[in-house]
Amino acid sequence: MATPPPGPLEQGDLIQDLARRLVEVTPEDWRQLTYLARVIGAHRSDMLAVQEADGQVRQLEVPDGVADIVDALKHACFQQGRGTWLSMIVSVHHSLRLNVEYNHDTKPETPWELSPLAYAQELERFPRDRELVPDWLADELDQAGRLRPDELVEEFGRALVRACDREGLRAEYLPPTGLRVSDPDGTDILDSDLEETFDQAVISSPEQRADLAAHFAGFVARAARERATAAQGNTTDTGDTVATALVEAFAEAGVRASFQDANTLSVVLPDGHEADTDIGRFRSALSGATPEQIAHNATEFARAAVRQLQQAVRPDGDRTGGLRVRLYPVSAFPEGVLDSLVAREIAPGLWQTLVADSPDSLQPLPRSTHERSGRPDAEVFEEAVAASVNETVEVSEHEIDGVRLVHVGGRHPYVAAHAHALERYLGEAPHGALVVFPVPEVLIAHPLGQGHPIVAMDNMRQIAERFVADGDKPISAQLYWWHPRSRSLAQGTPPELRPVGADIDHETRSVSLTTSDQEFEAVLASLNR
């Protein structure tokens, strides 16, 4: 009989066990660690960062055993009809003060765009009553309903059979998620239900599904050969399976890889750049893993490594890569994480972060990766700003209560970068502009002097608050003064943005400024006259 999932009384023990395992891998004199986990259907991604005594923040390998505890904790937090959390943040202070934050209803920020089927899997595993399903999640489920997952499952089953056939194996797909594999003489090699592998395949892209099938078949074939060799009295280092997986995964990504020793992997990019990495912990984490699990993890490891290397060593002549700038509120980052990223504060509470944008993911650029390139921060920010501003946007103008508003919007999260080139949309604006960044896809501006400034502030605040309330990943409803000096700054230099605001009482027709910026007050006074 299956063991029932842990109940609420066991959550405290699980959290303490999780914190203990995380603390075990921290360096001496650590001050704060932050662990972020996202578990949505068959999708799993996590990150562990630690702040050291000197204030530096660096990323650590997530220790063995954490995934099992996180899964148990997700089950323990499940409430019938209410579901469970989608992401969680665990913070541990060096005094061992512990804090856990669960996210049940907000769409998590994931390293890559998730298939809607991941959210469908989530609700199959952890059902929610209809009235407790957020609008954004309902939209994802509607999209998932149009994707026909049963067809994807059958397609992957057939792909596994074809991949095994290419390896000289006989395979039979056993719907819905079973597979029987034998060698050419009919000896059974595998007869198993691969439900987790199929779940992973369903939420992957067609290319990833093909890769997963090929890797699975390759590992089954190699495992069979290793067993045959062992039966003849020879022994094979089981770690060779991991090494072979990584070499093949890098080869499929177009990168040559080889081992200097058991744990030192050397890769050579097509442009000739080389890099070494220690895969000791990666190897340890896969101890006892099935062939398909090793294949899947090797593929993800190789793709992530190649993306980061290409971003880090892009030659000076190539300025068409995937670097972009994205705006975040400071509240989006756990304590200390910003220091581990390539980021800069462009206004109080607003941080502009370099992200690596590729067809299958969007990830903040780690500072450690950037530093390997040897390029100055200003140079890569200039490149990323230029690429972001070149992204397609739609610009429209509106007049509300005699006030001109310029709306800049796009289907990407880099619209805020247009604050670097706002003059192209404003025309003459000798007093600068009011600007707001409510969500990643929207920027709204008002050229001061083209309508009553207090009316503009009131309208923009209300519009921004609606965007923030309805947005999946809101930034801020705060108004900023885009100083006219911003017009003369180089495009890669942050614009001069000063927070401003006003409390407006419509009944008494009174206005109280909530800014202490005397220059802005003088501008308002001159415009009011």
pLDDT tens digits along 190-202: 888 888 889 988 8
Residue 236 has pLDDT above 60, yes or no: no
Q: Is pLDDT at 96 greater than 70 in this prediction?
A: yes
Closest of 349, 498, 522 to residue 434, by C-alpha: 498
Residue 506 has pLDDT above 90, yes or no: no
Whether the per-residue pLDDT at 178 is higher than 60: the answer is yes
According to the model, what pLDDT value does residue 279 have? 77
Model confidence pLDDT, tens digit, residues 111-141: 778 899 999 999 999 999 999 999 999 999 9
Q: Residue 333 above 80 pLDDT? A: no
Reading the block at residue 107, the tokens are: 């769409």
Nearest to 496 by CA among 348, 390, 385, 382: 348
Decide: helix, strand or coil at residue 296: helix
pLDDT band at 335 (very low <50, low <70, confident <90, very high): low
Instruction: Give mean pLDDT, residues 206-215.
Output: 82
The mean pLDDT value for 47-70 works out to 87
3-state secondary structure of 444: strand
The label of the residue with tokens 């756990």 reads 334
- How many angstroms separate the CA atoms of 380 and 91, rounded? 31
DSSP of 324-387, one letter per residue?
A: EEEEEEGGGS-TTGGGGBSEEEEETTEEEEEEEEETTEEEEPBHHHHHHHT--HHHHHHHHHHH
Give the per-residue pLDDT at 359.
53
For 146-172, write each residue's pLDDT tens digit. Answer: 888 888 899 999 999 998 888 888 999
**What percent of the chain stands above pLDDT 70?**
88
The pTM is what?
A: 0.46
Stretch (H or E) spanning 496:
none
Report which of 411, 357, 347 is spatially closest to residue 384, judged by C-alpha positions: 357
CB environment 185-194: b (16+ within 10 A), e (fewer): eeeebbeeeb
Rounded to whole angstroms, the Cα distance separating 496 from 484 reads 8
Mean pLDDT of the chain: 83
Highest mean pLDDT among 204-208, 223-227, 349-353: 349-353
Q: Sketch the domain layout of the chain as residue ranges.
A: 8-145, 149-311, 323-389, 394-528
Q: Which residue has the higher pLDDT, 234 or 56?
A: 56
Question: What is residue 106's DSSP assignment?
Answer: S
Average pLDDT over residues 222-247: 63
Give me the mean pLDDT over the 509-517 stretch: 77
Distance CA 310, CA 314 (A): 6
Report d(CA 389, CA 417) in Å as an integer: 6
pLDDT at position 314 over 80? no
Phi, psi dihedrals of residue 135, rounded to the nearest 5°: -60, -45
Q: Are residues 408 and 443 in contact, defined by beta-carbon separation less than 8 angstroms?
A: yes
Strands (E), 53-126: 57-60, 87-93, 98-103
Report the chain's C-alpha Rg in angstroms.
27
In this predicted structure, what is the pLDDT of residue 234? 38
The residue among 447 and 511 whose pLDDT is bigger is: 447
pLDDT of residue 289: 73
CATH topology (fold) of 8-145? 3.30.500
Neighbour-count burial of 118, counting CB atoms closer than 10 A to its CB (0-12 exposed, 13-18 middle, 19+ buried): buried
**Predicted confidence (pLDDT) at residue 285 exceeds the cutoff of 80:** no
